[in-house]
Chain A
Amino acid sequence: AQSVTQLDSQVPVFEEAPVELRCNYSSSVSVYLFWYVQYPNQGLQLLLKYLSGSTLVKGINGFEAEFNKSQTSFHLRKPSVHISDTAEYFCAVNREYGNKLVFGAGTILRVKS
């Protein structure tokens, strides 16, 4: 079975500062990795995903994530955040040929002016 641990439940950061949201996963099989964002009272929207190839993947809204197989991590980064990035961010895994996303507990990103 797969599992996902998001190490920080909340991350406060000032506007224009860089941010990193941490995600570690556990799986005995190959997995695909995802980051989703949830704005208040909305559904989830895909930010980016890692399937294979380059370990640095770029997503929407200036976010990027790096897959590190040896550390089983998939941390999300943004070099300069905006107030509008305030949301909850979920890391998720799905096994190859799987049909079930397994989510972490989420990290609330609070961007302050």
Chain B
Amino acid sequence: DTAVSQTPKYLVTQMGNDKSIKCEQNLGHDTMYWYKQDSKKFLKIMFSYNNKELIINETVPNRFSPKSPDKAHLNLHINSLELGDSAVYFCASSQAGTGGTEAFFGQGTRLTVV
């Protein structure tokens, strides 16, 4: 059983399109995240949700809109895709509490905008 699963694994799309990435975790965690890994492999947090409430929004363009229908799911919708959005997007989850809890990552979604 995959703990944190993302779909799709690969996504190739044209500039200007709108696309969504889905994430589900079966760990019973309260907190979920989206991270972006750019072409230089640098990982940066985009959003964090705790019990469906947005708690971190790291100056991400408003073309990116996360949605958490329940605490086990955190989807990422991207409008008007741009070339610079090409990256690997990772979903993660952790138990709420102190900052010492482990984050579990999905396998990533490689988004290529052409």
Contact = CB atoms under 8 A, between A and B. Distances in A.
Interface residues of B, number: 26
Nearest to A103: B43
Contact of B41 (A41, A43, A105): A105
B96 interface: yes
A94 B41 contact: no
A34 B43 CA distance: 14
Interface string B61-104: 00000000000000000000000000000101010101110110
Contact of A51 (B45, B92, B100, B107): B100
Contacts of A84: none
Tier of interface size on chain A: 20 to 34
B42 A105 contact: yes
B41 A88 contact: yes
A43 B99 contact: no
A45 interface: yes
Given A41-B108, A51-B100, 8 more contacts: A31-B99, A44-B92, A44-B105, A96-B99, A98-B99, A99-B50, A99-B94, A106-B42
10 contacts: A32-B99, A32-B100, A49-B102, A94-B100, A96-B99, A99-B55, A99-B94, A99-B99, A100-B58, A103-B43
